Amino acid sequence: MGLAIARLAAGDDDVNLVGAIDHHDAPNLGRDLGEVAGAGNLGVAIEADARGGLLGCDVVIDFSIASAFDAILHAAVATHTPLVSGTTGLTEASQAKLAEAATKIPVLWAPNMSVGVQVMAQLVRQAVSQLGLDYDVEIVEAHHNRKADAPSGTATFLQEAAQSVRDDLDPVHGREGQVGARHAEEIGVHAVRGGGVIGDHSVHLLGPYDRIEINHRAIHRDLFAAGALRAARWLAAKKDQPGAYQLADTLT
């Protein structure tokens, strides 16, 4: 994702890349970010010092892993830099630190940087609210065979969208054995892993006489990079307005 963001940013007149951060033993440390990303020389060397890499920038975009998140968050707060993050699988402790950071700097965290997914969540809230208790709700997500966490952060995001208008819904992650009849308050959340699937999400609304499916299919990883850059441009203007923002805020 970092390389995808670099490629798109290199062709965006509104964005100027000034730093790049990777793990301390990453093979590309010291190399030019543009050359690694296939975007030509950008004059930006990849470095391991998170705090140093943030100096002088208007906003930082984080697409890392849960174990690295706290360090980049700490560096963003220390340098008073707005933070856009798409890192999923955060622990409760990291989520608490994110909430604390939002009292000091602008932060925009989203489990999926696709603008289309944000619209999908709005449709889910509307459909679940209007269809009511007669319709069962199930979520199915599919990702590539190297994805480490399940369910996906996006599936959880969609689950929470449904629960925001039906607080009786209780998540069930998969079913096996003699589980008995489905309870009306269940919301099934199911993960599929295989091949090179970028990210598919479906919300099924199943009534007694019909069914509705709300689907989103990612067909290129640049989808998420484009959303992250959109969020970064928007959040940079909030530099002096600390708070926890959402990608949906950029749609208005």
Task: Report which of 49, 78, 73 is spatially closest to residue 62, judged by C-alpha positions.
Answer: 73
From the candidates 74, 147, 238, 239, give the one annotated as an active-site residue: 147
From the candidates 143, 190, 201, 216, give the one annotated as an active-site residue: 143
Concatenated DSSP letters for 16-67? ----EE--TT-TTTTSBHHHHHTS---S-BEES-HHHHHTT-S-EEE---HH
Known active-site residue 24: no
Spatial distance between the Cα atoms of 140 and 9, rounded to a whole number of angstroms: 32
Known active-site residue 239: no
Using DSSP bridges, classify how beta strands 243-245 and 106-109 pair: parallel, antiparallel or unpaired. parallel
Using DSSP bridges, classify how beta strands 83-85 and 60-62 pair: parallel, antiparallel or unpaired. parallel
Spatial distance between the Cα atoms of 167 and 170, rounded to a whole number of angstroms: 8
Query: Which residues are within 8 A (CB) of 246 and not within 5 positions of it... i.e. 6 or more apart?
Result: 108, 110, 118
In this structure, are residues 85 and 109 in contact, taking their beta carbons and an 8 Å threshold?
Answer: yes
What is residue 98's three-state secondary structure? Answer: helix
Catalytic residue positions, numbered: 143, 147
